[in-house]
Amino acid sequence: SKYMMIDGMKVRFSDEKNILTVIRNAGIDLPTFCYYSDLSTFGACRMCVVEDQWGGIIASCSTPPKDKMEVKTSTPKLYHYRRTILELLLASHCRDCTVCDKNGKCSLQDLAYRFGIRDIRFPNSACQDPIDNSSYSIVRDPSKCILCGDCVRVCNEIQNVGAIDFAHRGSNMIVSTAFGKNIVDTNCVNCGQCAAVCPTGAITIKKNTREVWEEIFDPKKRVVVQIAPAVRVALGEEFGYAPGKNLIGKITAALRKIGFDAVYDTSFTADLTIMEEAAELIKKIESGNNEFPLFTSCCPGWVKYVENQHPELMEYVSTCKSPMQMMGAVLRDYYGSIDKEDGKTTVSVAIMPCTAKKAEAAREEFMTEGRPDVDYVITTQELADMIKEAGIVFNELHPEGEDMPYSLYSGAGVIFGATGGVMEAAIRRVVEDKSHQSLKEIEYSGVRGMKGIKESEVPFGNSVLRVAVVSGLQNAETLIKKLQNGEVKYDFVEVMACPGGCIAGAGQPFSHLKDKKKRTEGIYDVDGSEQIKCSDCNPAVIDLYDNVIKDRAHEMLHVHYQK
């Protein structure tokens, strides 16, 4: 077998694509700013340099391993080289770390500390371009950009959006939108994946915690909150728990301590979504209008993408509101009369793994009498911030149950948080046989797993239901191309903008692929121990239809996007 000599140590390798991976596998934490295994290799930051046996300096991220190759990772030359890079980066960087949104989670700050940088030999030349605060989801601060290009590559390669790119040359180079427009005026879909990979504070997630605190402090307000499926298996990472640990009980306790008046579960309205979406699917199939599939509509990044790049497909996107917006509508309806009685105003907050949900909540279509149905969306990370700010010792909280009636969910509702979950939930709804055996067959039909594009066929009446599941908008684009040139045909397609689905949303704690897999397992474990497996068996859903929605399903649960 092949091996390399790393710092005099024999390290075997097989098909690793670069020596950086071999070195990291050997337990050496070589620093990088611009390397992500699922993006193309850029080789710009030069932090991962190593010395070869002839004293040459090479970037380990862009050098493939060769048999019997010798490298050193820590030499006087490398020590000075890396420190100089850091000093140069810090010289062109706004350094107001104490009030930076990325304070404590910034790779540049971490490495400056790790390498003991205390003074900088070069004058400060940070970019003076203004902060772009125009988006509901992300904030761009060019003075914090180190030109690693991670955001540019994620936006292009993973999302096929290309809202941001390098502009100008040489020392004037910046990351910018086309024509320097505000990000809100571009085709950005608000997925936040650029902020998730940004190593510094150059692109961060827009925070709404200050507004939520003010509402909680206001005695005339009743502040109710809904919590998305994916949040429960990731929030713990901010408090030392392993990824995938379901902490819904502790989260509920924390939300009550923070001062929320009622806690509801978006998994409940995920069940409601399935009821409506399955009905829509069956109606579409029966109508014979089957050239294009029905597409899911719960991911606002995807909806925006269709509006921007494929308006011709908009008519095939389900008219169902997302579970978050369905809950928004249900809660407005429920608290409307209560507000009249006690003179309080109900404020509706949602905790989501997602940054695009902030933009979704602000859409015109989700306003009732000039007010958004969901007033504020905060991310998993922002909730962790609020818990810390309040001084709550999260790990010592005793689990509590959420509030009835809008918190009872089936396993189908909760698996929405993982890629393929909406599809699996819908299949459970439409199959006649809901036995354990049948549900297991659906589980193994190919809808689960982290693959970017999945296909499956399940028995449906006298025929089959042809389905596909995609995550990552580049994958969605690939599928759309195939559909449009007739290569493939489906009845129903689930699309989530973030690779891996909501568990990998940009609002979650920063994660690698292995963490995402653990969160996915965590979500399926919740489903595994639920007694109710199918949305149509959820008694709270049945009750809501019978006693509240009645003939108002169309106005309460559906939307017509009018860009």
Which active-site residues does the annotation give? 277, 280, 298, 318, 357, 360, 365, 502
- Cβ proximity to ligand HC1, 406 vs 416, nearer residue: 416
- Cβ proximity to ligand HC1, 65 vs 353, nearer residue: 353
Q: Is 190 in the site for ligand SF4 (CB under 6 A)?
A: yes
Judged by CB under 6 A, which stretch of 112-120, 182-190, 234-242, 391-399 contacts ligand SF4? 182-190
Rg (alpha carbons) of the chain, rounded to whole number: 25
- Beta carbon of residue 129, minimum distance to ligand HC1 (angstroms, whole number): 31
- Residue 556 to residues 124, 237, 295, 377, 425, Cα–Cα distance (Å): 55, 36, 20, 20, 21
Which letter does DSSP use for residue 72 in this model? E
- Contact call for residues 377 and 352 (beta carbons, < 8 A): yes
- Cβ proximity to ligand HC1, 201 vs 323, nearer residue: 323
- Cβ proximity to ligand SF4, 19 vs 191, nearer residue: 191
Distance from the Cα of residue 335 to its chain's centroid = 30
* Residue 241, helix vs strand vs coil: coil
In the list 65, 142, 192, 353, the residue contacting ligand SF4 (rule: CB under 6 A) is 192
Judged by CB under 6 A, which stretch of 184-192, 411-419, 448-456, 526-534 contacts ligand SF4? 184-192
Residue 266 binds which entry of ligand HC1, ligand SF4, none, CB below 5-8 Å type-dependent: ligand HC1
- Cβ proximity to ligand SF4, 22 vs 495, nearer residue: 495
CB-facing half-sphere around the CA of 550: CA atoms within 13 A: 3
Q: How far apart are CA 408 and CA 94, in angstroms?
A: 48
Residue 198 binds which entry of ligand SF4, ligand HC1, none, CB below 5-8 Å type-dependent: none
Residue 297 binds which entry of ligand SF4, ligand HC1, none, CB below 5-8 Å type-dependent: none
Q: Is 188 in the site for ligand SF4 (CB under 6 A)?
A: yes
Question: What residue type is assigned to position 176 of the chain?
Answer: S
Residue 205 binds which entry of ligand HC1, ligand SF4, none, CB below 5-8 Å type-dependent: none
Over the window 130 to 159, marking each residue x when it contacts ligand SF4 by CB under 6 A and - when it does not, the resulting string is --------x---------------xx---x
- Beta carbon of residue 371, minimum distance to ligand HC1 (angstroms, whole number): 19
Q: Is 164 in the site for ligand SF4 (CB under 6 A)?
A: yes
Q: How far apart are CA 227 and CA 122, in angstroms?
A: 48
Residues in contact with 311: Cβ distance below 8 Å, sequence separation at least 6, in sequence order = 563
Residue 159 binds which entry of ligand HC1, ligand SF4, none, CB below 5-8 Å type-dependent: ligand SF4
- Total of chain residues touching ligand SF4, rule CB under 6 A: 14
Phi, psi for residue 346 in degrees, rounded to 5:
-85, 130
- Cβ proximity to ligand HC1, 154 vs 228, nearer residue: 228
Polymer length of the chain: 563
Residues in contact with 555: Cβ distance below 8 Å, sequence separation at least 6, in sequence order = none
- Cβ proximity to ligand SF4, 308 vs 345, nearer residue: 308
- Cβ proximity to ligand HC1, 247 vs 502, nearer residue: 502
Residue 452 binds which entry of ligand SF4, ligand HC1, none, CB below 5-8 Å type-dependent: none
C-alpha closest to that of 423 among 273, 248, 234: 273
Q: How far apart are CA 25 and CA 535, in angstroms?
A: 44
- Beta carbon of residue 410, minimum distance to ligand HC1 (angstroms, whole number): 12
- Beta carbon of residue 351, minimum distance to ligand HC1 (angstroms, whole number): 9
Q: How far apart are CA 220 and CA 63, in angstroms?
A: 62
- Beta carbon of residue 227, minimum distance to ligand HC1 (angstroms, whole number): 8
To the nearest 10°, the Cα dihedral for 189, 193, 194, 199? Answer: 160
Q: Which two three-digit tokens encode residue 297? A: 């509509």
Q: How far apart are CA 360 and CA 188, in angstroms?
A: 13
- The 3-class secondary structure across 163-174, one letter per residue, is CEEEECCHHHCE
- Beta carbon of residue 512, minimum distance to ligand SF4 (angstroms, whole number): 18
Q: Is 377 in the site for ligand SF4 (CB under 6 A)?
A: no
Ramachandran area for residue 152 (φ above 0: left; ψ -120 to 50: alpha; else beta)? alpha
- Residue 535 to residues 272, 274, 429, 475, Cα–Cα distance (Å): 7, 7, 6, 28
Binding site for ligand HC1 (CB under 6 A): 228-230, 266-267, 270, 298-299, 322-324, 352-354, 357, 416-417, 501-502, 505
- Would you tell me which residues interact with ligand SF4 (CB under 6 A)? 138, 154-155, 159, 161, 163-164, 188-194
